[in-house]
Amino acid sequence: MPGIDECLLEAMRLPGALGAAVVDWTSGLALGTVGDAPGGDHETTAAEAAELARLAAEHRAFAPEAGPDQSGQDPPVEDLIISNVDTYHVLRFVATSFDSSVFLHLWLARSDGNLALARIRLGEMAGRLVLG
């Protein structure tokens, strides 16, 4: 099972990958980063992405119809996709045995990236990621 560094390197092998990070959405801290950072600063990007993740995870409008997982192990949202004129940003929540407050953030060049493939592969990576 891959750790953070291995997971990030795997993410960078996706077509169009510009950079990736593993972020704790409760603190806004990057647990690991690779590649270029949007805006030039990985820590700022992590903090800003964490705000989006927190917004989606904490509001009932985005919760599953069946209601939130009472164990707290499954994140209430699978992923977020944000697109702009030149990039895609995919935030994939990671289920953990403790508090599920971690997500993978991948940004792709819109011209070369495959959003569907990135979403599928990030889901696979999130399922295998070992934290600790």
Question: Which pLDDT score is estimated for 101?
Answer: 85
pLDDT at 104: 96
Task: List the one residue out of 89, 63, 90, 61 whose CA is nearest residue 75.
Answer: 63
Q: Over 60: is that where the pLDDT of 71 sits?
A: no
pLDDT, position 129: 85
Task: State how many domains the chain has.
Answer: 1
Give the structural domain span for 111.
4-128
Say which CATH number the domain at 22 has: 3.30.450.30
Which range scores top for mean pLDDT: 65-74, 75-84, 112-121?
Answer: 112-121
Q: Is the pLDDT of residue 47 over 80?
A: yes
Could you tell me the pLDDT band of residue 1, with boundaries at 50, 70 and 90? very low
For 28, 65, 78, 110, the CA distances from 68, given in Å and listed in that order, are 22, 8, 12, 33
* Average of per-residue pLDDT across 6-29: 95
pTM of the model: 0.88
* CB contact burial 50-65 (16+ within 10 A = b; e otherwise): bebbeebbeeeeeeee
Task: Tell me the percentage of the chain whose pLDDT exceeds 70.
Answer: 87
Is-contact 47 37, C-beta < 8 A? no
pLDDT at 22 exceeding the cut of 80: yes
| Per-residue pLDDT at 70 exceeds 70 | no
Angle, vertex CA 112, rays to CA 107 and CA 114, nearest 5: 70
